[in-house]
Amino acid sequence: MSEILTNKAVGEDRFTRSRILFGEGFRALQRTRVILFGVGGVGSFALDCLYRSGIGEITIVDSDSFDVTNQNRQIGSECVGEPKVKVLARKYPGVIALRRRVDEEFLRTHDILGYDYIIDAIDDIPAKVAIARIASQKPYGRYIVSTGSAKKLDPTRIQVANVWKSYGDKFARKFRENLKKFTRTAKIKVVFSPEEPKCKALGSFSAVTGSFGLVIASEVVRDILQGENYAHK
């Protein structure tokens, strides 16, 4: 009861419950800039969590439009035919939407290292590697990559590790193999699941794809709070 009275005394807003949990660290979240590549089954849930948690600036990058098959797992996918980033920018006011294909040209003209955190939630290996060539310069944990979340049913199998220690996922293996063409030592945080695929075609389950996104968001928020705690010791 005293907690509720305290909340009302200072005025409640959409971040009240976040402030209770994050304490002084909430200010650090509001100062943080994040760029998120891909806002599909994984990225849209990462976006939702980061936005609701109070991240100060979020830029989303995706060139796709929603199609009817996205509706089993992607936030905003009821807007079939509309560009994903435009729909999500409406849903999350203040988010910066870039409807751009992730390629060498985009990466040459956009300073992604200027962001505090870089999240890769796309499913195109060449694009992932192009991002990695730049983003791997960030300290470990400031650049997070989603690997294969499709064809799986059990979100409790999701793990977080250095890319070189990921295992049991073909998509993650392809990413590692392509990374070896330019580095074998870069420390890159990845979210992966060693669960055996449950189908051959590209089936998906939002309990898993969404959990990948939520794990990524949790990694970002906890890293910010940890850094804030160290800064005040």
DSSP the chain: -HHHHHHHHH---TTHHHHHHHTTHHHHHHT-EEEEE--STTHHHHHHHHHHHT-SEEEEE---B--GGGGGT-TTTTSTTSBHHHHHHHHSTT-EEE----SHHHHHHS-GGGSSEEEE----HHHHHHHHHHHTTSPTTSEEEE---TT---GGG-EEEEGGG--S-HHHHHHHHHHTTT-SS---EEEE--PPPS-SS----HHHHHHHHHHHHHHHHHHHHHHHHHHT-
12-65 per-position pLDDT tens digit: 999 999 999 999 999 999 999 999 999 999 999 999 999 999 999 999 999 999
Over range 170-181, report the average pLDDT: 96
Q: What is the set of domains in the chain, with CATH numbers?
A: 15-148+206-231 (3.40.50.720)
117-151 per-position pLDDT tens digit: 999 999 999 999 999 999 999 999 999 999 999 99
pLDDT band of residue 227 (cuts 50, 70, 90) is: confident
pTM (2 decimals)? Answer: 0.93
> Does residue 232 have a pLDDT over 60?
no
> Does residue 10 have a pLDDT over 90?
no
